[in-house]
Amino acid sequence: MNTTAVAQERLVKTAIPGPKSVALQQRRLAVVSAGVASALPVFIERAHGAIVVDVDGNQFIDLGSGIGVMTIGHTDDGVVAAAQQQLELLTHAMFTITPYESYVRVCELLAEHTPGSFAKKSVLLNSGAEAVENAVKIARKFTGRSGVGVIDHAYHGRTNLTMAMTFKAMPYKLGFGPFAPDVHHAPNSYPFHDGLSGADAAARTISYLEKKVGATDLACIVVEPIQGEGGFVVPAPGYLRALQEWCTANGVVFIADEIQSGMARTGRWYASEHMDVEPDMVLTAKGIAGGLPIAAVTGRAEIMDASHPGGLGGTFAGNPVAAAAAISVFDSIASKNLLAEGARIEGVLKPALTALQAKYPVIGDVRGIGAMIAIELVQPGSHEPNAAAVASVAAYAAQHGVLLLTAGTYGNVIRFLPSLAISNELLTEALGVIDEAFATL
Ligand code: PLZ
């Protein structure tokens, strides 16, 4: 199949959703669990670069990249070729039965590109939540402690432990408990709302954990350097650094969940690099393999070796096809200098969104780094959330061929996490649609 045949242009041919999507939605409702909802009932047939094509032939500018997965672009030629080639050679072996080189190569690349120049080792998994689970497991084994510190507005997954670590009850947790014990939320740094310096916000987080749990009972603190589902909350400068220093002083493993913020999304390999921290463990998933499912825990060798042999694994974990795709993504980011694209995209999005903010007082905050930018919508003149405005803007954008993702504990954030392959022209065109959407509010 010629994947490059998708023209990089927006095209709305039918009502959204179109008739074929409507028909598929009927079939879906009969057999897919109601628990699996979709933000937009538009069925996607193909995609390339920054354009997604639905079954009715409508072409959308994709500003969400499947929640930050298609970082180097949909059906990237290198990823497709690597996966196709690998499929014919070896589709599965199970690394814990008989190893293969690509698993090792992915771990070498992770050791090279995650922050910190110390010796590192990795374990490969299937999903982000599974990476979080394993990170906690390893930190507990290493420290002999059980407490897990997380911060308000965090998102870490949908499994039992990671539900406990995720902040927002609806839709992630409500009625799904009881949850894994010994997980403790502490206040985060949220400059738009708390106005605190990084040092003051960190002191508040630390004091909370010291009082509620006690440092000597904490195995780890898990933080997203930029909170993803929470609404691209960028902590105040110095916040993460102070948390890390406290962790180091107290024998607590400092874990960066970079599942959404990592893999070149912010113009660095990992967002931690913007914040002057070298986490003891870094978690990677989403963008690592151009859409194939693979995830990783990478950490200081002595921590990663804490598990007894046989303690870590999983049937599909580190699958050879997904590993081949991951190697290709690492190669593309390095050889095509994709780290430069984050700054380019920020350079288009931030000024344009700031200009919209001046025009539409419903936009309370513009924030983010690289290709991870968000706007927080408020009741004009206040910091009160405005989820209704977010829903209207996203709906208008979808009707006009722009896929927008929402976020935030209060559902009042629009996040922009386009592929690094998106052109300035497409970005500008999408921003024009968003401007119209605000004008119709
Ligand atoms: N940690 C920081 O962003 C996944 C979830 C979408 P999985 N975020 C998108 C949804 O509605 O399920 C995520 C994340 C951070 C962990 C995860 C979990 O990664 O691969 O979805 O398990």
1, pLDDT greater than 70 = no
Which pLDDT score is estimated for 394? 98
Q: How far is the CA of 359 from the centre of ligand 1 (A)?
A: 33
Query: Which of 168, 286, 316 maximizes ligand 1 atoms within 8 Å of its Cβ, making it the mutation to test the pocket?
Result: 286
Q: Which domain holds residue 188?
A: 79-335
pLDDT (average), residues 146-160: 98
Q: How far is the CA of 129 from the centre of ligand 1 (A)?
A: 7
- Kindly compute the dihedral angle of the four CA atoms of residues 104, 110, 111, 117, in this order, to the nearest 10 degrees: 170
Q: How far is the CA of 313 from the centre of ligand 1 (A)?
A: 20
Which pLDDT score is estimated for 5? 82
pLDDT tens figures, 12-44: 999 999 999 999 999 999 999 999 999 999 999
179, pLDDT greater than 90 = yes
Residues 273 and 327 in one domain: yes
Ligand 1 pocket residue status of 267, Cβ below 6 Å: no
Element containing residue 353 per DSSP (H, E): helix 339-359
Domain CATH for 63: 3.90.1150.10
The partner residues of 180 in beta bridges, in order of sequence, read none
Query: Which of 38, 65, 67 maximizes ligand 1 atoms within 8 Å of its Cβ, making it the mutation to test the pocket?
Result: 67
pLDDT tens figures, 53-74: 999 999 999 999 999 999 999 9
The partner residues of 122 in beta bridges, in order of sequence, read 298
Residues 181 and 252 in one domain: yes
CA dist., res. 145 & res. 95, Å (int): 29
Residues 150 and 164 in one domain: yes
pLDDT tens figures, 241-256: 999 999 999 999 999 9
Residues 100 and 35 in one domain: no
Number of domains present in the structure of the chain: 2
Ligand 1 pocket residue status of 65, Cβ below 6 Å: no
Residues 223 and 260 in one domain: yes
DSSP 211-266: HHT-GGGEEEEEE-SSBTTTT-BPPPTTHHHHHHHHHHHTT-EEEEE-TTTTTTTT
Residues 30 and 147 in one domain: no
Residues 290 and 422 in one domain: no
Residues 154 and 87 in one domain: yes
pLDDT (average), residues 278-294: 98
The pLDDT-based confidence of 4 (bands split at 50, 70, 90) is low
What Å distances lie between residue 46 and 1, 59, 294, 371, CA to CA? 11, 10, 21, 23
How much is the mean pLDDT over the chain? 97
